[in-house]
Structure 1
Amino acid sequence: MSRRGRVTVGVLIGVFLLFTLMGWAVEVWTDWLWFDEVDYTQVYTGVLTTRILLFFAIGLAMAVVVGGNLYLAYRLRPLLRPHSAEQATLERYRMVLTPASAPGSRCFP
């Protein structure tokens, strides 16, 4: 992808995230004002805290599940592959990508 294309994609992603966060912030602020009006801000604080904790807990659980599946798929892969023209081409890609799949390394250049 050209430099111009990467910049365009970055700007579009940034605008999307900005509008998404603004929509969420408007919703939170409106609910906060309503709960403040009826003097139950501690209830809304509890609701927000619970939502945020659930978001991170489920995200962590899913990361563990996906990471475990990736680890198992890597460990249980067949070690001997039949050699053909297609396999030789794939082997070159595999040799390039294997260092990038090491834990703690960058996956994208």
Structure 2
Amino acid sequence: MTTRNGGPADDEFWRRPADGSTPPPPAPPPTEPAPPAYPGPPPSAPPPRGWRPPIVMQPAAPRELPRQDSVGIDEEERSARTLTYGIGMIAAAVLVVVVCLLCSRALF
């Protein structure tokens, strides 16, 4: 793209031609491009008769998982919940004591 540099003559490039001037020459008719030549896929030879990929190894059957002790799992979950609640209560009590100490110091 070219740009024009200069004063008020910059807009002259975009103005309509004056009345009575010669019209621009007509555009040439569009030509259609030739379709591309596609010769088709390359020829292929079939594999020899009886050909198969080699079989390396058959995987072993999956093992059976051990049985789960549902009662034991529930008991461990209960004891873990009790421990978590206990630690939470102790942390809350310590936090209340610290807040009370800070508030008492701010008043005096």
Q: Which has the higher contact order (CA 8 A, sep 6+)?
A: 1
TM-score (norm 2): 0.36
More helix as a share of residues: 1
TM-score (norm 1): 0.36
